[in-house]
Structure 1
Amino acid sequence: MSRYLNLTALVIFCFFYVDSNAQTLGIRAGLNMANMSEKYDDLEDKETDVNLGYHLGVTFELPINSFLYFESGILLSNKGHKYSIPSIAGEQKNQVSLYYLDIPASIKLKQNVGKKLKVFESIGPYVGFGVFGKIKREEADGSSLEDVEIEWGEVNNGGASYSRTDFGLTFGGGLEYNSLLIGFSYDLGLSNMDPFDSWITKKNRVLKISVGYRFVKKSL
């Protein structure tokens, strides 16, 4: 319970801090289609199955000039992947859900295509901090096993250990109409999510579809 209270307090603090400093404040939420790129030693890269999730949070914009903007914020993002392993029953299906607080730092280009309609593209780095997660397990016969809580860092927990810090690039685009926006983005993880940093390399891959609303605007 305490981790959820701490998370709520952090989001509230960030909301009021951003509100007092940003020219444009907004909210954003949407669908995540997450998986991982895995590489075992010198073998070819392999993509795991997609784990559906969500993201939500607050964002802010600062103008650089008439068409370039700096955009950042803080978003709770559900990452992870799905994979299967052999078991006594035949095959065990595993759904890994990793929840990160992501902080992007993007440059955003906007172009007018109508009276109130704009097209935008953005690119920049992001850093994420793992807050909680779990693995849901299911046997081939459909029976569910007990969920496994994610441990962050070098903890021997039967494959349930992942790196807490994620770093990578995010890029995307979309449309803005007045205060409403709809867009997509792709997070290309560059950090190894395997905390033991051994012969296995795991990197996050997340395709996001977002809707948002800009509801605070101030003159600097």
Structure 2
Amino acid sequence: MKKSLLIFIFFCFSFDAFSQSVYVKAGLNLSNIFQFGNSFTNDFKIKPGFHLGGTFEIPIDTNVYFETGLFIDSKGYKFESWTQSDPNVRVKTELYFIEIPLLFKYKYPLKNVLIVGSFGPNFGIGIWGYQTQKGSLFVPDKINYDCFGETGMYNRFYGALFGSLGIEYRKYIFSVNCNFGLTNIYGYRYAPYYSNYSISLSVGYKLWTK
């Protein structure tokens, strides 16, 4: 956690030195997972969450920018059954990441707004997570607070592809985003392959422009 805080402080002080524009952004996440490599598929449900952070952009060419930043992002999933013999299990997984996007952004002027598209890799570092399990006939209700620890089920680092489409009006930006995981977040070697994904809605405000 201390290392994550130091990274956040470093990015904050780096904004003014390198950036053209600095934004703060926040919004709603709708996250879930894809599962591969298993003989059955759980009925995974979307889990609402949030994202909060800041970005800065550096101009490359006319209307073309490089954008990066730092976010706290909540992901996870839910499901309500495991096997036919124990059908009422309810599991919810909450995973919290610090994420660093590395994006190319294009801004297309249209009357008094800008149409903004972004695409590129996104990298996450797991900082905390927990999983609750309720309703099993065979296992007592429990909460696991060690999702990323030595006995945790999930890999701390992941990579993804990130895409965004939005509208910028004066100092405000509104966007719809998609984050599709490319790496396995499940930590057990012979377990299913879990790839997280999320769709999010963001609202941003431009703090300053050089």
After TM superposition, the score normalised by the length of structure 1 is 0.84
- Is 1:34 the counterpart of 2:31? The answer is yes
Q: Cα RMSD between the aligned structures?
A: 2.5
In the aligned structure 1, how far is the partner of 2:186 from the partner of 2:73?
Answer: 19
What's the CA shift string for 1:82-133, capped at 9, x where partnerless?
1233599851211101001111111111111113x11011110111100001
- The worse-fitting range, judged by mean Cα deviation, of 188-197 and 84-93 is 84-93
% identical aligned pairs? 27
1:175 corresponds to: 167
5+ residue gaps, structure 2, are none
Counterpart pick for 1:16 among 7, 13, 17: 13
1:92 corresponds to: 89
Q: Give 1:216 deviation, angstroms.
A: 1.8
Amino acid at match of 2:117: E
Note closer, same or farther for the CA distance 1:66–1:48 as it changes in structure 2 (3 Å cut).
same
Counterpart pick for 1:76 among 72, 78, 85: 72
Amino acid at match of 2:47: N
- Is 1:112 the counterpart of 2:109? The answer is yes
After TM superposition, the score normalised by the length of structure 2 is 0.88
5+ residue gaps, structure 1, are none
Note closer, same or farther for the CA distance 1:46–1:65 as it changes in structure 2 (3 Å cut).
farther
- The worse-fitting range, judged by mean Cα deviation, of 69-78 and 46-55 is 46-55
In the aligned structure 1, how far is the partner of 2:48 from the partner of 2:105?
Answer: 27
Aligned residues: 207
Q: Give 1:10 deviation, angstroms.
A: 3.5
In the aligned structure 2, how far is the partner of 1:89 from the partner of 1:10?
Answer: 44
Counterpart pick for 2:124 among 113, 125, 128: 128
CA contact (8 A) 1:23 1:60 kept: yes
